[in-house]
Amino acid sequence: MAVYRILEEHEPSLREKAKPVPKITPNVLKLLDNLAETMYSAGGVGLAAPQIGVPKRVFVADIGDQLYELINPVFLRLSEEAASENEGCLSVPEKYGLVTRPLSVVLEGQNRLGETVTIATEGYLARVFQHESDHLNGILFTDIADAVYLRDYEDDDEDNEDEDDDDMSGGADMPGDIGEDRL
Ligand code: NI
């Protein structure tokens, strides 16, 4: 396994549409391992293959409950009900933004064994899945955000904002400030 450099906003590879994985080879398994290790190393909660320069339809996510590894993910369902929450991205470290997305999803993909898995979820994990799927289509949250803000690192020391009162309507999984997480 290896920790890879995470591509940033200005790098053209992030804008490519990733290609489906026709067959799960040892290289794909290695890609899954490297994605997870890079995500954990960066303190992120999701990472898509294009973010480490690999244009394949693969992503990993872990919001604290378990590691999800998805190959060729597609949404079978996106709810009409939507929610607007702050989002960050490992590839856009200087910014966060308010993004409106469907609240619940049904995602289908393959796991590392080549088995088809279907995940129905809502709230934070549904948002992470959508953010990572966007990466597979060359889309960054800054493209679709209602508003984008610069992170103010200096203020972090002065103000204790850990307990600030965010709108928790997105679901029980929603952490205090999702803008602090990077996907
Ligand atoms: Ni991201």
Structural domain boundaries in the chain: 12-161
Residue 167 C-alpha to ligand 1 middle, in angstroms?
Answer: 22
Residues with a beta carbon under 5 angstroms from ion ligand 1 = 89, 183
Residues catalogued as catalytic: 132
Residue 130 C-alpha to ligand 1 middle, in angstroms?
Answer: 10
Under a CB-based contact definition with an 8 Å cutoff, are residues 21 and 71 in contact? Answer: yes
Residue 55 C-alpha to ligand 1 middle, in angstroms?
Answer: 14
Which element (helix H / strand E) includes 132? Answer: helix 124-136
Report the chain's C-alpha Rg in angstroms.
Answer: 16
- Residue 10: how many other CB atoms lie within 10 Å: 9
Residue 45 C-alpha to ligand 1 middle, in angstroms?
Answer: 9
What is the model's pLDDT at position 151? 84
The low-confidence residues of the chain, meaning pLDDT below 50, are 158-176
What is the model's pLDDT at position 1? 77
Under a CB-based contact definition with an 8 Å cutoff, are residues 59 and 83 in contact? Answer: no
**Is domain 12-161 classified as CATH 3.90.45.10?**
yes
What is the model's pLDDT at position 13? 95
Per residue in 49-91, pLDDT (tens digit) is 999 999 999 999 999 999 999 999 999 999 999 999 999 999 9
Distances (CA, A) of 119 to 23, 78, 100, 126, 129: 21, 12, 21, 9, 10
pTM of the model: 0.86
What is the model's pLDDT at position 165? 47
